[in-house]
Amino acid sequence: MSNEKQVDSGRRGLLVATCAAGGVAGLATTGVLVSTFQPSERAKAAGAPVEVDIAGLVPGEMKTVEWRGKPVWILKRSPEMIATLKQTDAEVADPNSERKPDELTPEYARNEYRSIKPEILVAVGICTHLGCSPVTRFQTGAQPSLPDDWHGGFLCPCHGSTFDLAGRVFKNKPAPDNLEVPRHMFLSDSKLVIGKDEKGEA
């Protein structure tokens, strides 16, 4: 009788120890699984709307942020830069952003500035030809690979496409379309959100 009790208590101890170890392993596994369901900070930043502080931008300055793995330019245009847009109207291929409007230009940016506010351009910095990233050429006048009457804008170094300060492609260039204007909205004069507007997220 006493032998049976010793065996039972031994088995009971082994059973308790096994259950405890299994419980700890189960909790650890559950913790790992739950953490994998939550997106990483990088994933959130790549897909979710991005809030940007533009308070420090001065006229003529551009800031680049990443949204969904793409470079997005935020250019604060000076009054002189804004004035050049009328001069380039006749030289660009799609002055009114009529090509692929739903894909490239939200309704509120289908104007001569391609923006909500004339002084702020928000554009995806990827050439519509083969996906290279254009470089800034804000200085006016003759320069290598640019016309003598250059008013400032962007030059794609891969195949020579040029864009004005509203991201509109010049005529007879490899790029078929203007630069994309992503959905965006202003939270205040100094804060803007890229990837979301009054209609929801992109």
Domain ranges across the chain: 2-38, 45-201
Residue 127 pLDDT more than 80? yes
**Torsion angle (degrees, nearest 10) of CA 128, 139, 142, 137:** -20
Number of H helices, E strands in the chain: 4, 11
Report residue 11's pLDDT band, with 50, 70 and 90 as the boundaries. Answer: low
DSSP letters for 74-128: EEE--HHHHHHHHHHTTTBS-TT--SSHHHH--GGG-STTSSSSTTEEEEE-S-T
pLDDT band at 16 (very low <50, low <70, confident <90, very high): low
Residues whose CB falls within 8 Å of the CB of residue 172, separated by 6 or more in sequence, listed in order:
93
Instruction: Considering the domain delimited by 45-201, tell me its CATH architecture.
Output: 3-layer Sandwich (2.102)
Confidence of residue 18 (pLDDT cuts 50, 70, 90): low
What is the reported pLDDT for 22?
56
pTM equals 0.75
Does the structure show a pLDDT above 90 at 199? no
